Amino acid sequence: MNEIFLSDDLAIQNGNERICFKHPSDEALCIKVTKKGHVHRLQNKVEKFYYELLIRKNTPFDYIAKYYGPVNTNYGIGLVFEKVCNDDLSVSKSIRESMQLGLINESEAKEILHNIYQYLYKNGIYLGDLNQDQILLAQKTGAYVPKIIDGLGTRRYGFKLLVLTRFKFIARRKLKKNWPVLIKKIFT
């Protein structure tokens, strides 16, 4: 596998543990890599495990950024995902930003979030990291298409992740309990 070189000018988002880069040879993709020395939560390991499980189970990726697998980079192993962007290839805004900018109103945001919740619940998908900026709205031919870009599964790799992925009823129960926390973060 050839190594992909990621430079600072390709960085899209800089999180606590990872950096998300534009893919240097494909505008439609991005690569998430772990920052040097930040491996305590193993987010890439959690996402790789969880997304590959969703693919094996033929889970539709209606509201989730598509996952394309691991690649070697100059930062180490990275995970390749669909880059959630608008028709003009600009990076999409979060649902919260979209409301603040007046692109959608509160009623539209609530409907979008209701649809996402129904999708997650139906498919037994657990959203463990409740960050108000992890749901983006891609502007596609005049409509907004929501996509979750981060936070699926548990925050750490371990027993809890294995339980939530094996037993949908537990993932659903945890989603139902924690969803109001995310809603509160988005609307405050």
Which overall architecture, per CATH, does domain 3-187 show?
A: 2-Layer Sandwich (3.30)
pLDDT of residue 20: 92
Q: Are 103 and 93 in contact (CB under 8 A)?
A: yes
The domains of the chain are located at: 3-187
pLDDT digits (tens, 9 = 90+) for 14-44: 877 889 999 999 988 999 998 876 565 678 8
CA distances from 94 to 11, 80, 91, 97, 139 (A): 17, 20, 10, 5, 11
Q: Render each residue's pLDDT in the chain as its tens digit; 188 residues.
A: 578 999 999 999 887 788 999 999 998 899 999 887 656 567 888 789 889 999 999 999 999 999 999 999 999 899 999 999 898 888 899 999 999 999 999 999 999 999 999 999 999 998 877 787 889 999 988 889 999 998 887 666 666 766 777 778 888 998 899 899 999 989 88
pTM metric for this prediction: 0.86
pLDDT of residue 133: 86
How many Å is the Cα radius of gyration of the chain?
Answer: 16
